[in-house]
Amino acid sequence: MSNQIKTVLLLGSLTALIILFGNALGGRQGMYFAFFFAVLMNFGSYWFSDKIVLKLYRAEEASPQDFSWLYSIVSKLSQTAGIPQPRIFIILSDSPNAFATGRNPEHAVIAVTTGIMRILNRDELEGVIAHELGHVRNRDILISSIAATMAGAIMMIGNMVRWAAMFGGFSRSNDDEGGGGIAGLIALAILAPIAALLIQLAISRSREYLADSTGASFAGTPQGLANALEKLDYASKRIPLASNPATAHMFIVNPLSGRSFLTLFSTHPPIEERIKRLREMRW
């Protein structure tokens, strides 16, 4: 199954969870309010994501004079990808990593750390830049925002139900309406947010695989990215990036990978599997 189809199915699952939760709750107004509030929160994140994350990591725009070779790589790959050339930012950090952000290809930004430029050769760095351009071309910031909106609405509805239950917000009539009654609703309020989070993370992992394959097509070979991921896996564990967990999904390798993560609760697929898939690509 392609990663595009997986994304559609996973987003459909989030939609189904919202509808199921709304029906179980009985009052659609609460569901609509939570969804509207989640839209507002994530709209701001989507619209200003580039400014927020660049400020968070104190990234500075790269000088075309000092980083002419980097501009050359980005320019060539952008033309291949058929998208406007993104702005380029540098993060002063020994931890090797990179990310792309921006609400659409016309407002895209690519940021790389000084650490990644030091340990990768040109072919490997081209593979990394191509991967990030894959995120831009595939509009992954928009897709992540949609998934976050849906998951956020489910979590808010769950919180509303749990607080209502704690303070006696449900009458006995709710328990007589069938469908599990109050106990079933409270169980759903606990389990649905966990399911929503797992689906959101699965979408993130699926988009990483897609960006890998898209980036390999832009670079003309999967080998540069595969070799880069090998180096990044080792180096990022030795020198982890001081990062905010809320932005971990944006980076090419999980900046928190030096800590213990269960696969289901990871924003990124296992690097070994990503490298395996890249090296098995027919070119």
**Residues whose CB is less than 8 angstroms from the CB of residue 167 and which lie 6 or more positions away in sequence, other chains included:** none
Known catalytic residue at 60:
no
Q: Decide if 161 contacts 186 (C-beta within 8 A).
A: yes
Kindly report the three-state secondary structure assignment for every residue of the chain.
CCHHHHHHHHHHHHHHHHHHHHHHHCCHHHHHHHHHHHHHHHHHHHHHHHHHHHHHCCCEECCCCCCHHHHHHHHHHHHHHCCCCCEEEEECCCCCCEEEECCCHHHCEEEEEHHHHHHCCHHHHHHHHHHHHHHHHCCHHHHHHHHHHHHHHHHHHHHHHHHHHHCCCCCHHHHCCCCCHHHHHHHHHHHHHHHHHHHHHHHHHHHHHHHHHHHHHHHCCCHHHHHHHHHHHHHHHHCCCCCCHHHHHHECCCCCCCCCCCHHHCCCCCHHHHHHHHHHCCC
Query: Which residue among the candidates 60, 61, 126, 132 is catalytic per the annotation?
Result: 132
Instruction: Please list the active-site residues.
Output: 132
